Amino acid sequence: MITIVSGLPRSGTSLLMQMLDAGGFPVLCDDERRADEDNPRGYFEYTPVRRLEQDNRWLADAEGKALKVVSPLLYHLPKDFKYCLIFIQRPLDEVLRSQAMMLNRNGQNSAGDDPALQLHFERHLRAVDAWVEQHSNISRLTLAYAEVIADPRRTAERLSEFLRTDLNLERMAGIVDPALYRQRTA
């Protein structure tokens, strides 16, 4: 079994990885992408995930661990494994604003409030839902970012129940910092 933490970029996947790590669940990540202003506690990424489509031989190393895989890469997970998918959802306007802030901070142009990009993400999320439903080797827990922030203890409990393992719920809940929820829907 491999635990996959997924969602759109800037939806809260790093926060979930931090919570799992704090709770005592093994995570597969490296330090290649350092913490920065956009993710002050780190990204919890594993560099080989970026090339999942071209090379997935390393995936066996993720058995029994949590691994962050942004939603566009989910389609490249091989069918040879069973997955516990923890999918986080966040309002698209918040995701887009967060992405725009990050890109602007890095000197890149962003689409920001582009309706076409929002439509693309909406279609993508529907496609991911359909794809997951077609795979019997995937069990799924969907979390809402705002609920994770509002009730981190309940989120920790849900994660522990879903993963069928005892986790340090207090430490998990203590990771959540509402001050880092900077792009809120009005």
pLDDT tens-digit series, residues 34-61 = 766 666 576 788 999 999 999 999 999 9
- Determine the pLDDT at residue 141: 98
Is 56 contained in some domain?
A: yes
Residue 30 has pLDDT above 80, yes or no: yes
Is 182 contained in some domain?
A: no
pLDDT band at 18 (very low <50, low <70, confident <90, very high): very high
Which domain, by its residues, includes 161? 2-174
- Taking residue 35's Cβ as centre, other Cβ atoms within 10 Å add up to 13
- Determine the pLDDT at residue 73: 95
- Determine the pLDDT at residue 177: 74
Is 180 contained in some domain?
A: no
Which CATH number belongs to the domain containing residue 16 in this structure? Answer: 3.40.50.300
Give every strand in the sheet of 138-144, ordered side by side.
66-68, 2-6, 83-89, 138-144
Is 183 contained in some domain?
A: no
Is 72 contained in some domain?
A: yes
Is 163 contained in some domain?
A: yes
pLDDT band at 126 (very low <50, low <70, confident <90, very high): very high
- Determine the pLDDT at residue 51: 94
Per-residue pLDDT tens over the stretch 129-179: 999 999 999 999 999 999 999 999 999 999 999 999 999 999 999 999 766
Is 185 contained in some domain?
A: no
- For residues 115 and 86, give the distance between their C-alpha atoms in angstroms, rounded to a whole number: 27
> CA geometry: angle at 122 spanning 4 and 143, to 5°?
40
Per-residue pLDDT tens over the stretch 72-101: 999 999 999 999 999 999 888 887 876 666
Is 179 contained in some domain?
A: no
Q: How many domains does the chain have?
A: 1
